[in-house]
Amino acid sequence: MTFRYPNGKPYEPKVEQKKKQPPSITYSNRGMSLEDDLNETNKFYLENQVAVIHKKPTPVQIVNVDYPRRSAAVIKEAYFKQSSTTDYNGIYRGKYIDFEAKETKNKTSFPLQNFHAHQIEHMKNVLFQDGICFVILSAFNQFYYLDSRHLLTFWDRQLNGGRKSITIDELNESGHIIPTGYQARIDYIKIIDKLYF
């Protein structure tokens, strides 16, 4: 016997589907939310002619490529050409902008081991040329703007046998909390305006 809906269409009972297994936990994109938010912020700045800031590509040397068919190439082996410098650079109101973005889950301090000596050297070079150089730190449930000059002070302290991290109090004293919003998610230009213009 077939049951029919009032429109004449036959009723077909739903077949129970197998329950899906929960997705396995992956940590491959940890840290991407800060980068994603900064990329969206920079896109907003560009589209509204506020600033031109881009993420720097990581220089890679491709060694081995497989061509399974003409329309598809698969990179089988590649190496970093050189150590990368900082994450972002560009221009704002005629000034060169250069910055690094880092985050930590640490609840009491920001470890300096998150930075590399070549990045510190690059920041020194940018400051020497009178560029605006800073780091954006995601820490303690806030986004902080920390001028590279302050970071260099903490870095030198570490090299001289001192503390190997930046405390919450030091970050609150030396850094600036960056306002967050909808379109300019991490609106660091407001801090640059306050400090430089």
Residue list, annotated binding site: 85, 87, 100, 119
DSSP 180: B
**How far apart are alpha carbons 149 and 26 in whole angstroms?**
36
Distances (CA, A) of 180 to 37, 50, 138, 144, 186: 10, 16, 12, 11, 5
| Bind-site residues for Mg(2+) | 85, 87, 100, 119
121 touches 128 (CB < 8 A) = no
DSSP class per residue in 31-71: THHHHHHHHHHHHHHHHTTS-EEEEPPPPEEEEEEEEEETT
**How far apart are alpha carbons 53 and 96 in whole angstroms?**
10
Angle at 44 between CA 51 and CA 58, to 5 degrees: 70
